[in-house]
Amino acid sequence: MSDDLLVDVPRERDVVEHRLLHDGRVWDLVSDTVRLDDGDVVREYVDHPGAVAVIALDDDDRVLLLAQYRHPARHVLWEPPAGLLDVENEELVVAAARELAEEADLVAGRWWRLVEFFSSPGGSDERITVFLARDLTPVPEADRYVRGEEEADMVPVWVPLDDAVAGVMAGRLHCPTTVTGVLAAAAARATGWSGLVEVTPS
């Protein structure tokens, strides 16, 4: 199969009925009655605003990971800086820059779109865009974001990209943005970063 045929295709189906089952604090649980070729089906799923994540690499090709407790998984996971698209009409790369500053106290001089994926397409419409960030400098002390809740206890570490890839392949790292992001970064590095599209926060 040629590369131009191996592509996920957006497709809308008629939604006969849409119901809000639960109005959540961050995302909602909804039910759609969808008209398919062989009849109507009901699909319940999480209606999610979407998210961004940042693979921040320093000059030594070390990736920044943060330890964060995730209650539904009952795990402390090593994750890249990431966050919800919860600011109306905010550009994706601007949201990524905001999350990098808020969670890691860093500003990036250069940005690339690295990879994009649906986190759980059978049960959620969440779409995550992962960016590569380089030319990193610290946020001035006086301008740093005050973190709270789970973010207050985040522990940052700089990990060689090859070690992060090894952790993914050995089953030690499980966060989807970590798994997808570090493997995508390693794949991009193997081609000399030639396939990435550079973007600029406005």
**Residue pLDDT tens, the chain, 202 long:** 566 788 999 999 999 999 999 999 989 999 999 999 899 999 999 999 999 999 999 999 999 999 998 999 999 999 999 999 989 899 999 999 999 999 999 999 999 999 999 999 999 999 999 999 999 999 987 777 676 666 657 788 999 999 999 999 999 999 999 999 999 999 999 999 999 999 998 8
pLDDT reported for residue 1: 59
φ, ψ of residue 163 in degrees (nearest 5): -70, -35
pLDDT reported for residue 145: 64
Q: What is the pTM of this model?
A: 0.92
Taking CA 136 as the corner, what is the angle to CA 78 and CA 182, rounded to the nearest 5 degrees?
Answer: 35
Residue 126 per-residue DSSP state: -
Which residue numbers are catalytic?
151
Residue 153 per-residue DSSP state: G
Packing angle, helices 161-169 and 176-190, rounded to 10: 120
Q: What is the Cα–Cα distance from 29 to 22, expressed in whole angstroms? A: 5
pLDDT reported for residue 142: 74
Burial label, 54 (beta-carbon count in 10 A; 0-12, 13-18, 19+): buried
Domains of the chain, first to last: 15-47 (no CATH), 51-193 (3.90.79.10)
pLDDT reported for residue 202: 81
